[in-house]
Structure 1
Amino acid sequence: MRKFIIILLFFPFFLFSQINYNITVNSLDSWNGNLFYQRGGNPPGWTGPGPYPKPVKILDSNGVEIFSENWQKKGWDFKVNDNNKISYYDRISKGWFIMDSLQNEVDSVYCANGYIADNHDFLALQNGNYVLFAYDAQPYAMDTIVPGGDPNAVVEGLIIQEMDSNHNLIFEWKSWDHFHVTDNQYFAPWTAANIPFIHANSIDIDFDGHFLVSCRNLDEITKIHRTSGEIIWRWGGSQNDFTFINDYPFTHQHTISSLGNNRYLMYDNGNFSSQYLGTSNISRAVEYLLDTVLMTAEKVWEFVHPDSLYTPSIGSAQRLPNGNTLINFGNLQALNKGSIVTEVDSSGQIVFQLEYDEGGNLYRAQKFDWFFYTPVFGCIDTSACNYDSSANTDDGSCDLPNGCGDPLYQEYDPFVTCSNPLDCINLIPTGIVEGYDENLNFEIFDLKGQKTYFKSNDLLIYIFKNGLVRKKIIID
């Protein structure tokens, strides 16, 4: 009876310890890449003990889990960057970590000038630079801005920083110089004590090299000049520079991405879409074509899930190399679900779908043609004598003596090199003719019979191509 009671006491822990997913659609038309994400959320009724695990995961194209690790507070926005390395946010140190294909953490990046890096987005670029941003909450005397404003209000600003590979700050942008708190009409009459009026959640590099920033609470995509910091245009929200064609305005959007040629893809959460549709709110992936002369934003493609899914927060949209689009409906708690990740072709046909149980929320889900390498140990320094082209992990064995960069076969004059009274001992076999002065090619072997390169103070065997053998040592 006691054993039975013990099982019952521990049963709730196991009951709540799993959040499952199912692959409900997977056709041959889905893109053959691996799916990356960190699972968030808690199962229904979870009370501990401790935090519920939130592992980072990689699934292959068949939905089979090929990598899963719980990194505690690390792993937010787990993705592959343009520099071909993984990045993820650490909620403890408030920084971004970079991991190579051998699972080595090779760098960590933090904001400069005392700012704390935000967890929403991060870019590691091909040129070695890093782009990140920070929220900057400041005391703001709102009574000087609006009637009835709080004189001790706290207003949220935005800081964008770009650093080189050595973490030197090369660009910094502050929203205080460009945005105004009354740009956000949702907070009118702006009398609250706390006004997080921007809430940036993604950043990208446009086709011309300038920044694109998604500001959720402003319902705005802002294009910022990458060197001067001047605003090039504002798209959406109360300060919108564009006229929407064939569409209604996006609201509380995520993951803006430049597709090139003035085409842009985003995940539109649609928190206020009901005002335009006359129905319940819906979320969608939507692609626009911008005309920056006529200042129009034309909807050219969208995907609304057949179940009219709506996620009030989080979510992502990604254009894949084969033209498909991966959409993450990341927060479906209102439907007693976790999330649904859907891949569709250009016609909107669903070719892949993953569904998580309640509690399985996903901030982002993205596909990449990437996976970790299996370590092969050896010398990976190309300048070393024993460089191993098949190795990808250094084992500390690299041999870097003088002259090892020279070819193994070398021109050699035995008479000249033996002129130093200390350099020649025990010449064998007796068939070698002293004073033989014709240049000969040779190979060098150590006393174990293994090929090597010249090393001073080591007894080495020189075997000439004509069969002659000489044993010698050069003493420094």
Structure 2
Amino acid sequence: ETDYLGRVYKQYHISNKTKSTENVKATAKSENKQETTVIHHDVIELPNHNLLATVSDGSKYVEDTIVELSHKTGKVVKVLDMKRILPKNMWKKYDSSTRTDGKVDWLHNNALYYDKTDKSLVISSRHQDLVMKMDYKTGNIKWLFSGKKTTDWPKAYQPFVLKAAKGTTITGGQHAAYLLSDHDGNTNTKDLLLYDNNYAVTNGDKKTSGKYSQAVQYTINEKHMTIRQNWTYGKHLGKDNFTDRIGNSQRLNNGNHLIDFGYLNAKNGTGSNVIEVAGDKQVFNLHVDNIPDKGYVYRAYRQPLFPSNYTFDLD
């Protein structure tokens, strides 16, 4: 935990010797350069101030476990193993030939969002082209959104598959999925914002995959189990702004969106483009070019330099 000046206030260390309360390893020892971190894509703060992190669990299956860390002791107090929540054939039969270390990256969870209104968790699985919501305490699924046909899910999962309205974009390899604050007072609906890389890994739209990337906003009716797309930006930019990995979209307080096309030039990711839009109109455009190795813009956010209630002493 740091401030903007880089001062470190708290530090949490997880090694491959750390064990959770369920006697499950919370970390993994790297076997080669391909798997160099244990905590990988995301860490968020829960209402109780504990930290929720995406991790690898020490098995041959990577990036499919979530742990809650006590902010007081640094110990793991809860483990969510997605292999116990999603269908077994997803991870048992996943093609891991793309990796050279023998690990199976079937889920590749790259985002966490905690919904305080119903104590649930939204995650984004890049390798299943899946966004899902589940009860944080029990792990019970609330809804599933992907290009996978309802009939291809086991029967027990089918009631939770959202029905997409006509014209709704099916995501591929998406990132940064989170829910927006309620704006219409309808307790049945949630607004979901994400960055759609549009790179079909398993269940994405193969017809459009690789042609563009975009930010997308949806409205989900959790009572009727439907999802409807209501805003997008990026499709018209075409292949120039296509990113097969990395990216972010932030809804700003003024209603604008800040979009990070973070990994341009797919072979090496040597460019990033951050655009702010008001509706469909660009109001800010930043190109970062000739990026050195792994210097790309993973996520971009607009942050105030000072709290809104900060008072300057002019004396």
TM over 0.5: yes
2:54·2:110 contact (CA, 8 Å) conserved in 1? no
| Displacement of 1:215 | 0.9
Aligned with 1:302: secondary structure? strand
1:274·1:280 contact (CA, 8 Å) conserved in 2? no
Partner of 1:162: 68
1:255 aligns with 2:158: no
**Would you tell me which structure has more strand in proportion to its own residues?**
1
Q: Which amino acid aligns with 1:109?
A: Y
Structure 2 counterparts to residues 99-178 of structure 1, below 5 A: 99-101=2-4, 103-111=6-14, 113=19, 114-116=25-27, 117-125=38-46, 127-136=48-57, 138=59, 154-156=60-62, 158-166=64-72, 167-178=74-85
Q: Which amino acid aligns with 2:161?
A: D
Note the alpha carbon deviations across 1:33-60, whole angstroms, 9 max, x for none.
Answer: xxxxxxxxxxxxxxxxxxxxxxxxxxxx
- C-alpha change, 1:185 and 1:165, in structure 2 (3 Å) is closer
Q: Which has the higher contact order (CA 8 A, sep 6+)?
A: 1
- C-alpha change, 1:184 and 1:316, in structure 2 (3 Å) is farther
| Displacement of 1:337 | 5.3
Selected match of 2:273 from 330, 337, 340: 340
| Displacement of 1:203 | 0.4
Distance in structure 2 (CA, Å) of the matches to 1:289 and 1:110? 38
1:163·1:170 contact (CA, 8 Å) conserved in 2? yes
Partner of 1:18: none
Q: Which residues of structure 2 form unaligned runs of 5+? A: 20-24, 28-37, 154-159, 183-189, 308-312
Instruction: Using structure 1 for the length normalisation, give the TM-score.
Output: 0.49
1:135·1:159 contact (CA, 8 Å) conserved in 2? yes
1:274·1:282 contact (CA, 8 Å) conserved in 2? no
Q: Which amino acid aligns with 2:261?
A: F
Partner of 1:212: 122
Distance in structure 2 (CA, Å) of the matches to 1:210 and 1:185? 26
Distance in structure 2 (CA, Å) of the matches to 1:176 and 1:156? 11
- C-alpha change, 1:134 and 1:337, in structure 2 (3 Å) is closer
Count of aligned residue pairs for this structure pair = 259
Judge which range, 125-134 or 362-371, deviates more.
125-134
| Displacement of 1:293 | 2.3
Partner of 1:328: 260
| Displacement of 1:307 | 2.4
| Displacement of 1:136 | 2.7
Selected match of 1:275 from 194, 206, 221: 206
2:54·2:63 contact (CA, 8 Å) conserved in 1? no
Q: Which amino acid aligns with 1:160?
A: I
Identity of aligned residues (%): 25
| Displacement of 1:315 | 0.7
Aligned with 1:179: secondary structure? coil
2:68·2:76 contact (CA, 8 Å) conserved in 1? yes
Q: Which amino acid aligns with 2:3?
A: D
- C-alpha change, 1:189 and 1:217, in structure 2 (3 Å) is closer
| Displacement of 1:157 | 5.7
Structure 2 counterparts to residues 229-240 of structure 1, below 5 A: 229-238=139-148, 239=153
Partner of 1:183: 90
Note the alpha carbon deviations across 1:392-451, whole angstroms, 9 max, x for none.
Answer: xxxxxxxxxxxxxxxxxxxxxxxxxxxxxxxxxxxxxxxxxxxxxxxxxxxxxxxxxxxx
Distance in structure 1 (CA, Å) of the matches to 2:92 and 2:250? 29
Q: Which amino acid aligns with 2:197?
A: N
Distance in structure 2 (CA, Å) of the matches to 1:312 and 1:285? 14
Distance in structure 1 (CA, Å) of the matches to 2:126 and 2:133? 14
- C-alpha change, 1:185 and 1:125, in structure 2 (3 Å) is closer
Partner of 1:61: none
Distance in structure 2 (CA, Å) of the matches to 1:283 and 1:133? 24
Note the alpha carbon deviations across 1:157-207, whole angstroms, 9 max, x for none.
Answer: 622122332134442211121124532799459899543110011101124
Q: Which amino acid aligns with 1:104?
A: R
Distance in structure 2 (CA, Å) of the matches to 1:338 and 1:295? 39
Aligned with 2:199: secondary structure? coil
Distance in structure 2 (CA, Å) of the matches to 1:362 and 1:270? 18
Distance in structure 1 (CA, Å) of the matches to 2:302 and 2:118? 25
1:134·1:160 contact (CA, 8 Å) conserved in 2? yes
- C-alpha change, 1:160 and 1:237, in structure 2 (3 Å) is farther
Structure 2 counterparts to residues 21-170 of structure 1, below 5 A: 98-101=1-4, 103-111=6-14, 113=19, 114-116=25-27, 117-125=38-46, 127-136=48-57, 138=59, 154-156=60-62, 158-166=64-72, 167-170=74-77
1:181·1:197 contact (CA, 8 Å) conserved in 2? no
Partner of 1:370: 305
- C-alpha change, 1:126 and 1:104, in structure 2 (3 Å) is farther
Q: Which amino acid aligns with 1:250?
A: T
Distance in structure 2 (CA, Å) of the matches to 1:294 and 1:231? 15
- C-alpha change, 1:189 and 1:353, in structure 2 (3 Å) is closer
Selected match of 2:286 from 346, 350, 354: 354
Note the alpha carbon deviations across 1:234-293, whole angstroms, 9 max, x for none.
Answer: 22153470122121310100001110340010000001366344x852110000111122
Distance in structure 2 (CA, Å) of the matches to 1:280 and 1:274? 10
1:201·1:216 contact (CA, 8 Å) conserved in 2? yes
Aligned with 2:206: secondary structure? helix
- C-alpha change, 1:130 and 1:365, in structure 2 (3 Å) is same
| Displacement of 1:134 | 0.7
